[in-house]
Structure 1
Amino acid sequence: MKKIGLFILILILFTGSSLYAQEERTIDTNRYKAQKLENSGEYLMAAEVYEKSVQIEKSSSAPIKLHLVTDLNQAAYYYSLAGQYKMATEKIEEALKIAENLEREDVVAECYNRFGYFYNYLTKYDVALKYYQKALDIYTRLGLEGKAADNLNYIGDTYNFLGQHDTALENIKRAIEIDKKLGREEKVATGLDNIGRVYEAIGKFDNAIKYYEEALSIDRKLGLEEGIANALSNMGNAYNSWGQHDTSIKCFEDSLDISRKLFKQDSIAFRCTLNKLSEVCKSEGQYEKAVKYYKEAMDLYRNLRQGDNVAACLNNIGTVYQSQGQHERAVKYFEDALGIAREPEEDNQTSISLKNIGSVYNTQGNYDKAVEYYEKALAVDRKLSKEVGEILIDNNITLFYRFYWNKHDKIIYPYERELANDIKIGKDFDIISDLIGIGKTSISQEKYKIAIERLKESVSIIEELRETETGKLRKRLLYDLYNAYQLLTSAYIKDNDAPSAFQAIELVRAKLQIEMFFESEKDKKKRERGLWPQDIDEIKETLDDDTVIIVYANANQEKIVQIAITREEIMGIELSRESFVQSSIDKYNTKIKTLLLNQRSLSENKSDFSNVINYYGSLLSELPVQDSKSTVADASTSNSQRKTDTREIGRSLYGLLIKPLEEKIRDKKKLIIVPDGILTYIPFGTLIDENGQYMVEKCSISYIQSLDIRKLIKKRKYDENRKPLLAFGGAVYKGPDFKAEMIENRVQLSVLTKNIYSSLENMRMDLLMQNLYPDYENLRSIGNAYRGLGLSSWPDLPNTMSEVQKIKKTVKRSDIFTGKNVSERDIKELCNDWKFFDYKALHFATHGLVVPEAPELSALVLSQFKDMGKEDGYLRAEEIAKMEIRADLVNLSAFDAGLGGIYEHEGFSRLIHSFFLSGAKSVSISLWRVAGESNSPFMATMYGLVQDNGMRYADAITEVKRRFISGDFGEKYRAPYYWAPFVYYYGN
């Protein structure tokens, strides 16, 4: 969408700028011819029109220099559309020299604008801004207010593309003020449209609509039909992004009706609107309309002889029929698209059509035919990738190459090389998709060896690309790598190769952890190259006879992978969750829907499996009714039903996740679980076996994120003469002065996340420059991010004060920090003074949070008050990872992971992993915050068992849980709510 908007903007800027030629030409025949060719996609022929005009002007007895400048700039525009950027640059430079010799600053300024348009088209926005600013300076100096206003609009739009939305609005509003003063109402409407685009970009759709409607009102008053059509199209985009799809469709249709009346069907703007309308209708299930508009677009492209776009329309129509289950009809359109390709073995639409046909056969279960077409698509994509790749490995920048089906010679220039690289990567992504498709289908055919071969090849290509790419593209490749490894893991399990499946799981998890915490791309790549899968036999040797490790993977798939490792063997199976999910939805569907309606979340749609786990978490983490303000009768009924639901789901989860390997763990006293995805939030100790016993009653349960971390932790040897404990509790939460608007939708969240990355990067640069946080407001913007997500108001936790005081009375030689001293500044000072080397355990009884929408914000929430200096009161995972800790245990006793309102996000794992990176040997963390007085005796008793009986932390936590279950702390505390949230991640 952004690319389409930019293209239309550049089109308007170029074609709408007349220079001074129209002052002397009553009819610009060149412009008319060129625009007709442009609408047909014949950009080089359009450029030739102006090239001929330049030659005619130069050969005349008295060439008009201004005409030359106009024609050269227009030729440059069409060369840029054709991808010949060196030619475009040469033409603008020639025009600039002529303008400078004329000593016409206004014409020089127009040439600067041409450079601005050109670099905008190449998405080199910072360079574009420099040229726009040069032109603006000239217009301002010459007092050409109208031209200055135009440039302020250009500058505003460019800042919008850069994501600097406040600066964009500032410039556009300045332009509107000037245009209002000059009485240029049409230009005011243009500025209002531009403001609407800024608000649309940041997800403030109500504001965007308001400004589009103001622009529309002006266009209607002036009778500007094209402006009306444009404003309606803009409103259609905004309403679609806002989720008001019916209104969006109406706006698009009204826009198209006006364009048809004006006979503007061959315009690029019309085709863009038509394609967008088709997509919206398809996504809304209005299939008949979608097909109608795709066919209209197809007829237009056919008239323009744009075969590739005709094929694209045919493919789109086919996908509409495929989504309706009309497979034969879908295949017919895909095959028609195949027949249009000029050179089938080299046409990008060919590979798309072949993949589409393969997907139809795959859906029908005709796997042989599906693989046949996937293989054909793979062959096409390999050839296309090879063609571009051969260009890129040559250092001669004057080498010629062919750009897909458009056959014309081009001179490689730095930006052309960059574009070619993008094409190469794009084709490599297609190859990856083909290989994964073949691998997935081969698994369905039970041809596991073939699947493994194809999937390993896809992994190899992804890894090769990740070695050279950075930023967002590298993150996308990591996502693709994760998906490929999931399929590879499944294929290994089905092929009875549990060791290879385990190593695949471990490898990709290690890569994910590196991506989370290491800032520089160089460090990430270096650490990844150092990864080496652990030898299974070595792992077995580290296990006692009474210990079993259960590794879970593919928790987001229909079949979960489970691998059990004991001292004697390793085995793996796949667990189908279908029966568990269906029976749970049948029983609890209404309750689950009620729960989801009450949850605040901007996360993507949850799966049914996630929703069931969500519901189970809500049952466990809800305060028992007898502790809340309810009547005795209500409490009895509610508790009884909740207890029944909780135990039923606990039994079902045991049947799904434990029973298949029950024989392997029957005699094991220690269970180490490596969870995955949503399984991270299940307190396995609450699962109930066929005898009605909680798992925690039979074995000591601990967790670990990967066995690679376990190996690292086992090497850590710390001084035994350390003090036993340092505890933090009774933090104060009076609220910092953060100001930010609430996040309402995914677009606003995306903008917020981008700003978070920017602010964090600025902080890192400050650290590197040894100039800590010089920009106070920039730092506070991180606090504003919490405010925007509704996470800046925290109640006091009075019970945490008594908790740490009781711990201090129990544990000899322990120290505590309370009140305002439980601050980010104090904790960082303790760390900087190496005080965290002096304690065996660090205990944090403070708020904590996991942020699904922005995992980088997951943090411990420390004391917050008005005057906190440079800190924001949130000790984020990134900051924790940089601390120096030498503790056997970090205990987060009052944390709230959000169980009951969670999704498969990385925030929770990120926070745990940050403490392991800082040096901790184990982490205990609560999945929900327990109200009332049970926390204090739980923690004090646990530390007492470690101190007085010499127990391991894991065993002490298990023992306290068993005492709660047996009623030692009181009958009401037997409920899982009081003892189950505390999960222990592997340590000594």
Structure 2
Amino acid sequence: MTRAVNAICLKTVGLKVSCLIFTIVAFCPPSATGEAHTPPEYTISSSHPNDSAMHKDMLRCRVLYAKVNALFDDNFNFTSGPMMQMLTEIMDITMRYPGADTLLSDLYGKMAICYQDLGKDEDAVASLRKAKALRKNKKPDRSLFNIYLTLGNLFMKSYAYDSAEYHFTYIEDRLAQFRGLRKNELHRLWNELGVLHYNYGDHKLALNYYQQALQNGLSVFPPQAEQIVMVQNNIIAVLLRLDRPHEAIRKYHTLISYGNTLPILFHNLGKTYQRVEKYDSALLYLKKAESLASDDVLKIKLFNNLAITYIGLKDYDQALRCLDNAILLNRRFYKTKNAALAYSYMNKARICEQQHKIIEALKEYQAAIRVLHFDFNDSSFYTAPDDLNNVVSRPYFFECLHNKAIALRKLYETSPQHQHLQASFIHYEKAAKMMDLIRKSYSSEEAKLLFSNHTHMVYEEAIATAFELYEHTKEERYKETAFAFSEKAKMTVLSEALGALKLKKLPGLPTDLISEQAQYKRNIGRLLVRLGDTRDSAVSLKIRSDLAASEIALSKIEDQLEKNKRYRNLKYDRKPLGISEIRLRLQKNEALIEYYLAQHDAFIFTLTADDFTLHRVPLSSSFFDSFEKLKASLYAAGEGVAYRGASPSYTVYKHLVEPVSGLINDKKNWIVVPDGMLSYIPIEALVSDTAASRFVIEEHAVRYTYSSLFLPAADETSSDGSILAFAPFDHVKKMPDIHPLKGSGKEIGALQGTLYYNEAATKTAFLQQANAFDVIHLATHAETFSEDPLRSFISFYPGLQQAYDSKLYMPEIYALDLDKTKMIVISACEAGSGKLMNGEGLISLSRAFAFAGCPSIVTSLWKADDELTATLMISFYRNLKKGYTKDEALRNAKLEFLHAGQDHRLRSPVFWANFICIGDASALYNDSTIYTISAIVALILLLVMVFLKVKKKHRPVPAFSEEELN
């Protein structure tokens, strides 16, 4: 045999079997004693008319079958041609007698391996289908396991991912029924599932499967075995996809230092050096791989990646020669459309673009699209298929649509014809739809966040294109589409999570699955916390294994839930609200201001009950300088440090607010949808008038929302306003690294509710009662890690247990169910700050509470004085009790600081602007004063009526005139 191991659909030298069969496919496993196989179901009725001929056939069959199995057992040490002759002869004999279905199934399976080795994949698939048909209605066994596994492999190799997934999932869902499976077979299954999800682009789930494959493999093979090296190679490939190229380079060098000379390792190391733009090193290792490679699939990949390296070195002639070789070899090897061929055309298009040959580039992109789509064959580069599902590879198809949209825009810039810009816009629309399809296939929030971060630029370009078309045509549809792009770019992952949270009570959903889903989420949260807390490598390895298994199990549960079409549709089809619907949700005194920050421009959308506008504001270098100075003034100010943000604040105001001030200044309440770095700065802290030193807050109440999708459809009904509050560090004994918050006791002491101080303010008490109150108030310490948000936590009283027993970490908050909670106040430093992710904003503790279902969050962006924070919070709740909405209550509390004549330093926004209101701002309480006055008036009227009635009985007179009554 000549085929070798395929990892991530690439082949390498060294083994005598194709990709997905890098351990023996034991359709009929050898006996424990190592004796020759006996053909299964070979017992044939002795009543056969020619017993002598049958006996000869049986002897011949036994001899041949023993020889076949011996060769298969010897690491597939055979040549496929002669092997096929023996298998065919056994098949001819077996077909003469009924009742040998299991033997025939085994023979078809072995034939499939030979066909695959001979490059006859279609014949291999046909043989395996016959094998599967003969096993119909049979109990699951190892033979059936390997039939399905190999079929899945072949379908994946031919880019039929749906068929591959069906066969792999069939095994995975029935894994407990396949008795007697060996760990090396499970090793293969987990690896194949990893390859499948890698090809889908769900790299986080792929990594989980690879970890499972590695764990099973290490219990069977030595660490340096090729099977283990190939799984490690796959894991490193995922690291590259997760934007960790330097870590990937180190790990590849480690594998090679062990003496591994697999060409795939050198190929992937060269490809990784491309990512860090070290093209000389990339060329060195790709050439090394080329000298070792004998597999056609790997050679095709090598030619493509050599071309990319030459493009990086500006050697376009060499790059084109490599691409032509890749295309020629691809057409000889593959009989169907495939992603590798499309990749070659896409790279040719890149060369044309760099040489400013835009028309030629568009033709190459169109060729790639035709190769990627099974049914689309239009050669006009103005067109693209409407059906986005019937494609070879979704990630490649999305990349091709996006690159083609950019090229069409470049064509418009050199030849400003409307059809070029319109065609670019259409391709951006299709690319955005493709992004939605890809995101839905991802199982983890981490994978979705990473995808959103990578694809954010697509929306920026799409909005700019839509805006330009609107300017040229004045057609409202382009303005509305630009807004829809802006909305889709914001908080997609959060909106999906909240959609799923609200759907858990959907009729028809299995309650046991919902319960399991919640349990796995909590377990994953705990494991992530423990993983971050341990320094023991053995413990860490065990936790990672448990984490991978839990995340895989959770993805399977969610797959089952999504079989409910209504659940899936309501979870994912959360389309941006239409302009008319948003207007209906806005009060007369409200304005929605949504920002989208591009590289050099700010797109500002304003919506009121009566109007909808779109402005593009160029962002000068002075804006970015002023923004950073303002941020530094707010976040870095401390005791004795003067606030120097007034001037930069006004510059930011002139860029972000002044261009639309004429449209929104008459609206008392502003609802701001920030974007990108704007999430760090509260709009209400901007100076609107330097001469009068006035802040935005002096004219407007400001609240924030993640997107217009989170606008409430109607006013929330009033609640009883029950409060659960914690102050773990009011008066604490001497503890290392723990600072008392002397104002926190006073802060929650002013509240009427269930209050926990010091030793009683534990994490356990919080978890037990969190979803039983309307309001949760946390006056405590918090710590945010911007580079590793999952390590961020909120502190409760530390006991003698492990550190994680007193800290509520972000993964644990995600797993909470707070759908009954009306508001959370996180009176802790920097709880609203975190890592900035394009498309999802700040990955902060406050966002985690929103993820858990709480519709309204009051949180802090930066550190502030403990005593002043307590004063601000007491005023905030006092205003809430008066019946004010949350944003107005917070504004009034801030204005008390701002206008505190006895302490001029409190005019500095450092002391009052750090707290912001996110989400639903509806009032929590009815105004008790109004109720009291109304009750008194009603009582007086009642007494007057009684008095008049009594008087009328004793002194009958004509009816009183109004004058007499007055």
Does TM, normalized by the shorter one, top 0.5? yes
Residue aligning to 1:416: none
Matches within 5 A, 1:721-732: 722=720, 726=723, 728-731=725-728
Residue aligning to 2:398: 432
Residue aligning to 1:892: 826
Residue aligning to 1:214: none
What CA distance in whole angstroms lies between the structure 2 residues aligned with 1:794 and 1:960?
31
1:961 is displaced (CA, Å) by 3.3
**Does residue 463 of structure 2 align to residue 489 of structure 1?**
yes
Q: Which structure 1 residue ranges, 5 or more long, are not aligned?
A: 39-44, 61-65, 101-107, 138-150, 176-186, 204-232, 260-269, 388-420, 585-611, 627-638, 736-792
Name which of 740, 745, 757 aligns with 1:818.
757
**Does residue 325 of structure 2 align to residue 314 of structure 1?**
no
Residue aligning to 2:594: 551
RMSD (Å), alpha carbons? 6.0
Q: Give, as a single letter, the amino acid of the residue that structure 1 aligns with 2:425.
A: I
**Alpha carbons of 1:295 and 1:915: their partners in 2 closer, same or farther (altered >3 Å)?**
closer
What CA distance in whole angstroms lies between the structure 1 residues aligned with 2:581 and 2:569?
28
What CA distance in whole angstroms lies between the structure 1 residues aligned with 2:594 and 2:318?
45
**Alpha carbons of 1:914 and 1:169: their partners in 2 closer, same or farther (altered >3 Å)?**
closer
Q: Give, as a single letter, the amino acid of the residue that structure 2 aligns with 1:934.
A: L
**Does residue 750 of structure 2 align to residue 807 of structure 1?**
yes
What CA distance in whole angstroms lies between the structure 1 residues aligned with 2:430 and 2:681?
35
Is 1:47–1:79's contact at 8 Å kept on the other side of the alignment? no
Higher helix share: 1
Residue aligning to 2:910: 977
Is 1:92–1:111's contact at 8 Å kept on the other side of the alignment? no
SS class of match (1:495):
helix
Matches within 5 A, 1:489-528: 489-496=463-470, 497-506=478-487, 509=490, 511-519=492-500, 520-521=561-562, 522-528=566-572
**Alpha carbons of 1:664 and 1:866: their partners in 2 closer, same or farther (altered >3 Å)?**
same
What CA distance in whole angstroms lies between the structure 1 residues aligned with 2:329 and 2:749?
79
Matches within 5 A, 1:17-36: none
1:829 is displaced (CA, Å) by 6.0
**Does residue 526 of structure 2 align to residue 535 of structure 1?**
no
Residue aligning to 1:380: 371
Is 1:733–1:795's contact at 8 Å kept on the other side of the alignment? no
**Does residue 887 of structure 2 align to residue 957 of structure 1?**
no
SS class of match (1:978):
coil
What CA distance in whole angstroms lies between the structure 1 residues aligned with 2:95 and 2:755?
90
Is 2:252–2:265's contact at 8 Å kept on the other side of the alignment? no
**Alpha carbons of 1:320 and 1:873: their partners in 2 closer, same or farther (altered >3 Å)?**
closer
**Does residue 798 of structure 2 align to residue 798 of structure 1?**
no
Is 2:404–2:427's contact at 8 Å kept on the other side of the alignment? yes
* Deviation sequence 1:360-383 (CA, Å, 0-9, x none): 344555544433332332233334
Residue aligning to 1:282: 274
* Deviation sequence 1:759-791 (CA, Å, 0-9, x none): xxxxxxxxxxxxxxxxxxxxxxxxxxxxxxxxx
**Alpha carbons of 1:925 and 1:21: their partners in 2 closer, same or farther (altered >3 Å)?**
same
* Deviation sequence 1:708-750 (CA, Å, 0-9, x none): 456426432325xx46x73513126999xxxxxxxxxxxxxxx
Is 2:725–2:777's contact at 8 Å kept on the other side of the alignment? yes
What CA distance in whole angstroms lies between the structure 1 residues aligned with 2:685 and 2:429?
38
Is 1:823–1:873's contact at 8 Å kept on the other side of the alignment? no
What CA distance in whole angstroms lies between the structure 1 residues aligned with 2:89 and 2:352?
55
Residue aligning to 2:283: 291
What CA distance in whole angstroms lies between the structure 2 residues aligned with 1:937 and 1:15?
74
* Deviation sequence 1:226-264 (CA, Å, 0-9, x none): xxxxxxx99x99xx97727378448638847xx6xxxxx
What CA distance in whole angstroms lies between the structure 1 residues aligned with 2:305 and 2:209?
35
**Alpha carbons of 1:533 and 1:310: their partners in 2 closer, same or farther (altered >3 Å)?**
same
1:981 is displaced (CA, Å) by 1.2
Q: Which structure 2 residue ranges, 5 or more long, are not aligned?
A: 1-6, 13-17, 38-62, 97-101, 154-163, 195-207, 379-386, 414-419, 471-477, 501-560, 923-966
Matches within 5 A, 1:385-400: none
Residue aligning to 1:441: 407
1:9 is displaced (CA, Å) by 8.1
**Alpha carbons of 1:109 and 1:794: their partners in 2 closer, same or farther (altered >3 Å)?**
farther
Is 2:595–2:602's contact at 8 Å kept on the other side of the alignment? yes
Q: Give, as a single letter, the amino acid of the residue that structure 2 aligns with 1:51.
A: L
1:926 is displaced (CA, Å) by 0.9
What CA distance in whole angstroms lies between the structure 2 residues aligned with 1:26 and 1:90?
20
Residue aligning to 1:243: 247
**Alpha carbons of 1:200 and 1:454: their partners in 2 closer, same or farther (altered >3 Å)?**
closer
Is 2:727–2:780's contact at 8 Å kept on the other side of the alignment? yes
1:894 is displaced (CA, Å) by 1.8
1:982 is displaced (CA, Å) by 0.5
What CA distance in whole angstroms lies between the structure 2 residues aligned with 1:276 and 1:173?
23
Structure with larger Rg: 2
What CA distance in whole angstroms lies between the structure 2 residues aligned with 1:926 and 1:565?
27
Residue aligning to 2:873: 939
Is 1:616–1:900's contact at 8 Å kept on the other side of the alignment? no
Is 1:891–1:924's contact at 8 Å kept on the other side of the alignment? yes
What CA distance in whole angstroms lies between the structure 2 residues aligned with 1:909 and 1:900?
5
Name which of 755, 778, 786 aligns with 1:844.
778
TM-score w.r.t. length of structure 2: 0.61
1:159 is displaced (CA, Å) by 6.8
Is 2:428–2:462's contact at 8 Å kept on the other side of the alignment? yes
Q: Give, as a single letter, the amino acid of the residue that structure 1 aligns with 2:819.
A: M
What CA distance in whole angstroms lies between the structure 2 residues aligned with 1:188 and 1:507?
48
Matches within 5 A, 1:132-147: none
1:983 is displaced (CA, Å) by 0.9
**Alpha carbons of 1:975 and 1:331: their partners in 2 closer, same or farther (altered >3 Å)?**
farther
**Alpha carbons of 1:426 and 1:196: their partners in 2 closer, same or farther (altered >3 Å)?**
closer
TM-score w.r.t. length of structure 1: 0.60
1:517 is displaced (CA, Å) by 2.5
* Deviation sequence 1:262-315 (CA, Å, 0-9, x none): xxxxxxxx33234223324434544234335545655776x76x4x65554333
Is 1:806–1:940's contact at 8 Å kept on the other side of the alignment? no
Residue aligning to 1:75: 111
Corresponding residue pairs, total: 750
Name which of 812, 819, 827 aligns with 1:883.
819
Name which of 7, 16, 22 aligns with 1:11.
22
Matches within 5 A, 1:383-782: 383=374, 424-444=390-410, 445=412, 447-460=420-433, 471=443, 479=452, 485-496=459-470, 497-506=478-487, 509=490, 511-519=492-500, 520-521=561-562, 522-529=566-573, 531=575, 533-536=577-580, 539=583, 542-544=586-588, 548-554=591-597, 557=599, 559-566=601-608, 569-577=611-619, 579=621, 617=631, 620-622=634-636, 624-626=638-640, 639=641, 643-644=643-644, 650-651=649-650, 653-664=652-663, 670-688=669-687, 691=690, 693=693, 695-696=695-696, 698-705=698-705, 708-709=708-709, 711-712=711-712, 714-718=714-718, 722=720, 726=723, 728-731=725-728
Matches within 5 A, 1:163-242: 163=208
SS class of match (1:533):
coil
What CA distance in whole angstroms lies between the structure 1 residues aligned with 2:699 and 2:783?
29
Q: Higher mean Cα deviation, 471-480 or 493-502?
A: 471-480
What CA distance in whole angstroms lies between the structure 1 residues aligned with 2:251 and 2:824?
53
Q: Give, as a single letter, the amino acid of the residue that structure 1 aligns with 2:403.
A: G
Residue aligning to 1:324: 313
What CA distance in whole angstroms lies between the structure 2 residues aligned with 1:188 and 1:916?
44
**Alpha carbons of 1:672 and 1:173: their partners in 2 closer, same or farther (altered >3 Å)?**
closer
What CA distance in whole angstroms lies between the structure 2 residues aligned with 1:666 and 1:684?
14
**Alpha carbons of 1:475 and 1:426: their partners in 2 closer, same or farther (altered >3 Å)?**
farther
Is 2:349–2:362's contact at 8 Å kept on the other side of the alignment? yes
What CA distance in whole angstroms lies between the structure 2 residues aligned with 1:283 and 1:901?
23
Residue aligning to 1:592: none
